[in-house]
């Protein structure tokens, strides 16, 4: 009986930890020198879909995306872009086929994302909010 209780409690704890990780806050980031102070989800979505090549202030923008396998990417796509990964993949397949654009460059990790954004004022990316430091500036979080 005692081992059944331990297994149940362990699975319950595992579920709680998983839920906490899924609900972690995500920050959309830019270079600290970027004049943008905040961006609406619709503006971010337009940038990541290649519909806008500039920040609202008129400066050029280069979106950087997390890898297809990153859980934070699925959260970003559904929360900010209101699309699933398969919808975004289909969208970019059509754009590539018609010669109307290329998807954002993907990085392997949030550390790489932060490094790229911190080194180029034209870039925009997203990372877990707990990883934000003075090397980047948050323009939207959810």
Structure pTM?
A: 0.82
Class for the domain spanning 25-141: alpha beta
Beta bridge partners of 50: none
DSSP string for residues in 31-84 = -TT-S-----HHHHHHHHTTS--B-TTS-B-EEEEE-TT-HHHHHHHHHTS---
For the chain, domain boundaries: 25-141
* DSSP H or E run through 11: helix 2-22
Low-confidence winner among 15-24, 41-50, 55-64, 131-140 (lowest mean pLDDT): 15-24
Per-residue pLDDT band at 2 (split at 50, 70, 90): low
Whether the per-residue pLDDT at 79 is higher than 90: the answer is: yes
98-133 pLDDT per residue, tens: 999 999 999 999 999 999 999 999 999 999 999 999
Return the higher-pLDDT residue of 1 and 56. Answer: 56
């Amino acid at each position: 009986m005692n081992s059944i209780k331990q297994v149940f409690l362990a699975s319950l704890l595992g579920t709680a930890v998983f839920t906490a990780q899924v609900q972690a806050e995500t920050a959309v980031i830019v270079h600290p020198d970027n004049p943008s102070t905040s961006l609406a989800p619709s503006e971010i979505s337009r940038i990541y879909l290649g519909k806008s090549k500039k920040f609202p202030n008129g400066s050029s923008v280069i979106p950087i995306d997390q890898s297809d396998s990153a859980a934070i990417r699925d959260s970003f796509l559904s929360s900010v872009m209101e699309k699933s990964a398969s919808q975004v993949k289909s969208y970019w397949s059509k754009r590539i086929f018609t010669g109307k654009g290329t998807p954002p460059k993907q990085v392997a990790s949030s550390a790489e994302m932060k490094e790229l954004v911190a080194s180029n004022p034209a870039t925009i990316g997203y990372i877990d909010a707990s990883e934000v430091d003075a090397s980047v500036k948050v323009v939207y979080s959810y």
